[in-house]
Amino acid sequence: MSVNFLSLPELARVRLEDLSHRLQGLAPNTTRAFQIESALLLPNTLPSAFLRDIDSWVKKKRPYLYYLQILDSSSLSHIEKAFTAEKSKSDRAYARFNSQSKVLYVGSSSDIGKRIREHLGYGAKATYALQLAHWCRNLNMSLEFVLADYSTTTGADLLQTLEDTLWDNLHPMFGRKGSR
């Protein structure tokens, strides 16, 4: 199949217009914030109360949009140094460093409980995530996961557009923009 590059801009405009119409009025069902202290994150010890709180709120197999932010005045340069030092000597898959920011990560998932465990450092070694328990416990940070759950009928393209827009607005320290 060949593509007519001259008609491509018009096809893209129609596609984006359709996306724009489908985004109108789209809102999360609920939002919730969960706080945890980095000192509670030990490599082989799950923060059970924190995870139970999240698990009791989460609805399975719904699309979630989330971000993780620092609530206190932690030194961003100390955070960068601790992350970089651990990443360089670890066999775990760490998220990419972007630039210093109070927002650590922006993402989406249909299995948010599992994804939060991965970011905390309790998931598979080969899954790209923050791996917090392996580098941040001595930084004494107050962290907050902010979650929004969407209807199961929310299209993947709509959720990705929302995630990309959130990423552009929050400029997270770690991770990457766009679909995997």
| pLDDT above 80 (res 180) | no
The dihedral through the CA atoms of 93, 96, 97, 101 has a sign that is: negative
Taking the complete model, does pTM exceed 0.85, yes or no?
A: yes
pLDDT value, residue 61: 87
Q: Residues with Cβ < 8 Å from 127, sequence gap 6 or more?
A: 93, 118
Read off the pLDDT of each residue in 2-6 and give the average, rounded to a whole number.
86
Give percent above pLDDT 90 in the chain. 90
- Please provide the average confidence, as pLDDT, over all residues in the chain: 95
Residues 72-100: pLDDT tens digits? 998 999 999 999 999 999 999 999 999 99
Q: Average pLDDT for residues 54-73, to the nearest whole number?
A: 94
**How many residues does the structure list for the chain?**
180
For 106, phi then psi, to 5°, come to -130, 135
pLDDT of 44 over the 90 cut: no
| Least confident interval from 21-25, 41-45, 114-118, 130-134 | 41-45
Mean pLDDT computed over 150-177: 96
CA distance 91 to 17: 44
Three-class secondary structure assignment of the chain: CCCCCCCHHHHHHHHHHHHHHHHCCCCCCEEEEEEEEHHHCECCECCHHHHHHHHHHCCCCCCEEEEEEECCCCCHHHHHHHHHHHHHHCCCCECCECCCCCEEEEEEECCHHHHHHHHHCCCCCCCCECCHHHCCHHHCCEEEEEEEECCCCCCHHHHHHHHHHHHHHHCCCECCCCCC
Q: What type of residue is 68? A: L
Average pLDDT in the 13-21 region?
96
131: left (phi over 0), alpha (psi -120 to 50) or beta: left
